[in-house]
Amino acid sequence: MAKNKSILFSLILLAFLAMTGCTNDKAVILFNHQPITKETILNNSKEFTLGRKVYYILLVKKPLQSDIIRVQILKQEDKADLGGVKIYYADDFRLYKDQVYYYNDYVVIREAGHYIMQIFSKDDMVHPLAISDFYVRD
């Protein structure tokens, strides 16, 4: 019974994340195997190899008002307390003055699984600017 509640909560959480990601046309997150440049930006992918760099870029339509963003990565797990999702990574970054329309960086994931990246403006930590997911395989 508790497992069914956990699965139901996970589905509701994922549906909520998907709905907010789909209705939020202000920003998008793209992932890539290579450093993101003008030439590689459209070579986006959703599957990555364990221990390798996952390059990402946040693209926004309107200039970011805040000069600090939070990048948060959630990992889907059956044994996590919060409905099958645990916070895998979170960090704040200061944007440079030329980064009002984008932010790019990379992360290295050391556990296989399904991940959800959310990026928030420090002015609004409730509603993410963008949400996207990716997979890390062995």
Name the residue ranges covered by the structural domains of the chain: 2-137
CB 114 within 8 A of CB 78: no
Residue 12 has pLDDT above 90, yes or no: no
Which pLDDT belongs to residue 10? Answer: 47
Residue 69 has pLDDT above 70, yes or no: yes
Higher pLDDT, 82 or 129: 129
pLDDT digits (tens, 9 = 90+) for 101-118: 999 999 999 999 999 999
Average pLDDT, the chain: 85
Q: Which of 5, 6, 14, 20 is nearest to 120 (CA)?
A: 20
Determine if the pTM surpasses 0.85.
no
pLDDT band at 9 (very low <50, low <70, confident <90, very high): very low
Task: Please report, for the chain, how many H helices and E strands are present, in that order.
Answer: 1, 8
CB 63 within 8 A of CB 98: no
Give mean pLDDT, residues 64-72.
Answer: 94
Residue 20 has pLDDT above 80, yes or no: no
Which pLDDT belongs to residue 77? Answer: 86
| Structure-block tokens of residue 53 | 């760099």
Q: Which of 38, 20, 40, 36 is nearest to 105 (CA)?
A: 36
Contacts 24+ apart (CB under 8 A), 62-67: 62/26, 63/100, 63/101, 64/95, 64/99, 64/100, 64/101, 64/103, 64/121, 64/129, 65/121, 65/123, 66/95, 66/121, 66/122, 66/123, 67/94, 67/95
CATH superfamily of 2-137: Macroglobulin (MG2) domain (2.60.40.1930)
Which pLDDT belongs to residue 25? Answer: 57
Give mean pLDDT, residues 13-17.
Answer: 45
Residue 130 has pLDDT above 60, yes or no: yes
Length of the chain: 138
